[in-house]
Amino acid sequence: MAGNIASKDASWTSSEEKAGIGWALYNKDAKLVLHGKAAIEPIGSPLEADAEALHMAISQIKRVGFHPVTFCGGSAMLYKQLPQHKELIPMVPKPMSLSCPTYIEYIDNLIKEGKASFSFQKVPRSCNTQADNLAREDRIHIGYLDPNIYFFRSLKEILKAEF
């Protein structure tokens, strides 16, 4: 992988508790450029929490204009459901039934906006420790205000408002 790398992760324990999401962006020299983390409202599954983390990472990275970016994370299931930008993972037929179709559609639309170039690669958990730590921190320390937190409207809130 060359160029900018973004790792993202979610920390989810149950659909009754808040989850944490986090991401980190590294430049081509492997220097940390930017990161974000947030506690999010309870969400139905780890896959949905991962989709929230990807949405947050893409939104913030697009906002600051970094591209191309390879997004790395542990959720092959999430990446395989995205209809485009699969340069680094083998082409897989789109699953018959998407695990979280509305999230996937929203992320797909976000990716298509603008001229940013994104690709996705599944990586082992051991290669994703920075994003994992950020996500876990915000799930565990809910209520702690950190100036590095990027406030955003969660995808779940946006979907509720639109439907």
The answer to whether 111 touches 61, Cβ cutoff 8 Å, is: no
Model-level pTM?
Answer: 0.74
Using one digit for the tens of pLDDT, what is the confidence trace for 53-89?
999 899 889 888 888 898 888 888 888 887 654 444 4
Mean confidence (pLDDT) of the chain: 75
CA atoms within a 13 Å half-sphere pointing along the CA-CB vector of 13: 11
> Domain map of the chain by residue range?
4-162
Quick check: 15 pLDDT over 90? yes
1: pLDDT strictly greater than 80:
no
If one compares 133 and 11, the residue with the highest pLDDT of the two is 11
pLDDT at residue 149 in the model: 43
Assigned CATH topology for domain 4-162: Nucleotidyltransferase; domain 5 (3.30.420)
Higher pLDDT, 159 or 38: 38
The pLDDT value recorded for residue 121 is 82
- H/E run at residue 33: strand 32-40
Identify which of 150, 156, 86, 148 has the alpha carbon closest to the alpha carbon of residue 122: 86
pLDDT at res. 85: 44
List the beta bridge partners of residue 138. Answer: none
